[in-house]
A and B are shown apart, each in its own frame.
Chain A
Amino acid sequence: MIENSSDQSARSHEMLSFSVGGQSYALEIMSVREIRGWAQPTPLPHAPAYVRGVINLRGTVLPIVDLALRLGLSEVEVTERHVIIVVHVGAQTVGLLVDAVSDILTVSGEAMQAPPDMPSGATGSFVEALTIVDERMIRILNIGALLPDVTQDAA
């Protein structure tokens, strides 16, 4: 469990970085509720492919989104070493399946750059900003865009 200890200064952001499909991503730490190990989910019929199913998180039904599939990366065999990051966005709580959690970063506002315009790709719209930490490019995710919206899921 990660405590919300960061100060809310507008200029620097605390980020949780993790790797998905060999790429480094990060998301705002305030939206992270907990990090837990992989558990076999119950599949949801007719759900989008990136929804792995639901797991029991201490009595609540938690949908699991396979972040690699959601970002359009290649599908990987899920092993015991995979990690679920439980995030809370709006009224929804969702588990994000990632390869591994790396670090907690403090990124200043200036260090974040808007992603360049890319030819349309699945990943593009989910990345909010880019930053460089220790000569690695970290993609900062817009979690809100990751979750299926209700209308989209109706089909």
Chain B
Amino acid sequence: MAEIRASFFVECEELLESLNDGLAAMEDGGGDGETINVVFRAVHSIKGGAGAFGLSDLVNFAHIYETVLDRVRSGDFTPEAADYLTFFSSADVLSDLVKASRDGDDTGAAINAKVLGELQRLEGGGEGPAEEAEVEFVPTILPLDFEDEDDGPGQVAEVTRVRFRPHAELFQAKNEPLFIIRCLEKLGKISVVCETSEVPDLSARDGAPGFLSWLVSFDTAVDHQAINEVFEFVADICDIEVSAVPLETPNAEDASPSPSPDRPDLAEPHRLENPSPQDEPTELKADTTPAAEPTAQEAAPMAAQKATVRVDLEKIDRLVNLVGELVINQAMLSQSVAASGIPANSAVAQGLEEFMQLTRDVQDSVMMIRAQPVKSLFQRMSRIVREASASIDKNVRLKTSGETTEVDKTVIERLADPLTHMIRNAVDHGLEQADVRAAAGKPAVGTVSLSAAHRSGRVIIEVSDDGAGINGEKVLKKAIEKGLVSQNSNLTPQEIDNLLFLPGFSTATEVSSLSGRGVGMDVVKSAITSLGGRVSISSIPGKGTTFSISLPLTLAVLDGMVVEVAGETLVVPLNAILETLTVTDTNLKPLGATGNVIEIRGGFAPLIDLGVELGYRGPKERYQGAIALVIGHEDGSRGTLVVDAIQDQRQVVIKGLQPGFGDVRGIAAATILGDGQIALILDPITLAKPDGSAVTGREPQLQMAI
């Protein structure tokens, strides 16, 4: 049971995703008739599943939501922009409720009063908010044995509705629905609607009746026992469903009876009788994922659904590790074959060559398994935008593109926090207030765009807004105030923009509920750096600001340069190296007693001896002839690391170091080389900090400033 429950929640995540997708498509006007069906089905399936697990909060809310969506589906109600906001918020509430149910805390129910009110207003056909806080939805389906209903007729606020759906046999037995309905009429004033939506095209019809159903609404509460008696003759050849519904709804029906047949609580008798969603039984069985995280890669609901398998993440990780071993093993094998002097044109060497090719392919494919589209992440961000803009009263729209771009799952997970921060910043600081926007001739609705794309083996994620851009003067003033830069420093606009990444920097003059607490872009930056990524900023005054994050596709392998320092083999991530050069008499300049700088095309970069920095040896007397790796920093400054020799450039599998042993500054991880030896992977950005303090200092703030 626990397994099915877990898979239900996984399912919910997917359903919520397609719900959000569908809503977005509808809001953009791009949705067709199928879109609303997808949206409706998503909510309905959640309700169905929730019913099976007795999650009454979830069922209640989903029911109301579903009812409203059903009105949209039937064309009875055309949502406007504000209504979509309600729909999105409702999806958020639904997602909260799902989470609350999953984690077993029931605090979620309290937060949705406002959304609930909105929904109920829409549910009631715009006749104002409902009296009751929550519709008491009790799916009082009558199974075919007629027992007393829980809802007694004594409750004045309820009326009775009967759903009557004769089976084909009912007609074959020459029963007449009309007579039954007439009998019902004797119990109270009724209105009857015949629902024909399930009647197929005449051409497709196989002659069997049973597609029609009737909905009988009493205008008062009627004793269910009396209704059951009416159906006594035909009980086993029709579906009957007697339910009590709150009073406010029939009022709407008096004016226009059409909404009632579309009430989903009545419209789907089969589903209600068996609350677990009927259309997903196979998925429920096939599921093996205990975690509630969505793992399947779902195609866009409008596109054809690809067949997917849900796999436990641990299994994938195991596979990734094994393939890593395979790659190492293969390298070791190659090396020993080469060492044994087997000629390159021999069958062994050629077979090994093919083997190498295959391992690489296998590795790539396995890495692809871990990759996930960023869509789920983007959807979370659209919620952030909604909530953030609502809390500070700005009208903001999130545009996303490239949602299908695939990134390693870990990257996606660890990107959520920094991205949230950046989105909030864009909404809060980036976009101006509506009146300022109007004065600048911009549309009242601010736009925040979020895009993802693959570019030369990396993933580029951009967050941009069409706000005022970065106020360079204000930033500089603030930075001077906070002592982050000196009074008379002469900075380029680019450098000023980059001041935002300094720790403890926040330009918002007023601390709002969203941001401005001084925990800012520096945290974003260090989070992204820890993922092997970089973040850069560009801003055009009056036009907006763009943050661009560049990330590696995977965290499991990296392209590295294998270097030798004092007899030790080390790996430097290739993406950190701008260029390599040889230290000569002309470009090496001493600075101070022990320091050296290297002149690179008119600029100077500090020279840092890796051997000294890592404690392998003392400083050399002469650096001439050594190799220097030029390391670029985010702020555009450079540093050089001196190594003895460059051995190779290759892809290496990243192996984590155990905490306690691996917290060595400047060492990011380790890898296993072809000969089975371990080589350390450097964190060159930390090592080559241009301020020189890296050589001696191990102060924690250095790590913050990366």
Interface residues of A (CB under 8 A from B): 40-47, 51, 53-56, 58-61, 63, 92-94, 147-150, 153-154
Contacts and interface: CB of A to CB of B under 8 A. Distances in A.
Interface in B627-665: 655-665
Nearest to A46: B664
Residue of A47, A59, A149 most packed against chain B (CB within 10 A) = A59
B324 A59 contact: yes
The 10 closest A-B pairs by CB, nearest first: A45-B614, A63-B661, A42-B678, A59-B325, A61-B670, A61-B655, A148-B660, A56-B672, A45-B615, A54-B678
Given A43-B568, A45-B614, A92-B658, A56 B667 contact: no
B328 interface: yes
B660 A147 contact: yes
A65 to B, nearest CB: 9
A43 to B, nearest CB: 7
B612 to A, nearest CB: 10
Nearest to A63: B661
B331 to A, nearest CB: 12
A42 B614 contact: no
B660 A55 contact: no
Contacts of B656: 61
Nearest to A147: B660
B666 A63 contact: no
A153 B661 contact: yes
B678 A56 contact: yes
Contact of B680 (A42, A63, A93, A147): A42
Contacts of A53: 678
Interface string B657-701: 111111111110010100011111000000000000000000000
B355 interface: no
B146 interface: no
B258 interface: no
Contacts of B615: 45-46
Nearest to A48: B661
Contacts of B616: 43, 45
A93 B667 CA distance: 20
Given A45-B615, A46-B665, A56-B672, A61 B660 contact: no
A47 B658 CA distance: 12
A61 B659 CA distance: 12
B678 A45 contact: no
B379 interface: no
Nearest to B655: A61
B571 to A, nearest CB: 11
Interface of B: 321, 324-325, 328, 568-569, 613-616, 655-667, 670, 672, 676-680
6 contacts: A44-B661, A46-B665, A54-B661, A54-B670, A150-B659, A153-B660
A44 B667 contact: yes
Contacts of A154: 663
A58 to B, nearest CB: 8
Contacts of B677: 40, 42, 56
B568 A42 contact: yes
Contact of B678 (A58, A61, A147, A149): A61
Given A45-B614, A46-B665, A153-B660, 17 more contacts: A40-B677, A42-B568, A44-B664, A44-B680, A45-B615, A45-B616, A45-B666, A46-B614, A53-B678, A54-B670, A56-B677, A61-B655, A61-B678, A63-B657, A94-B658, A147-B660, A149-B660
A63 B655 CA distance: 12
Contacts of A63: 657-658, 661
Q: Max chain A CB contacts within 10 Å: which of B321, B324, B655? A: B655
Given A42-B568, A45-B614, A45-B615, A59 B664 contact: no
Given A61-B658, A63-B658, A45 B667 contact: yes
A141 B524 CA distance: 44
A81 B403 CA distance: 58
Contacts of A55: 678
Given A45-B615, A45-B667, A46-B665, A59 B660 contact: no
A148 B321 CA distance: 27
Contacts of A150: 659-660, 663
Contacts of B665: 46
A56 to B, nearest CB: 5
A93 B655 CA distance: 14
A120 to B, nearest CB: 23
Contacts of B666: 45
A59 B321 contact: yes
A92 B680 contact: no
Contacts of B659: 92, 150
Nearest to A44: B664
A44 B615 CA distance: 9
B568 A92 contact: no
A54 B432 CA distance: 54
Nearest to A155: B698
Nearest to B321: A59
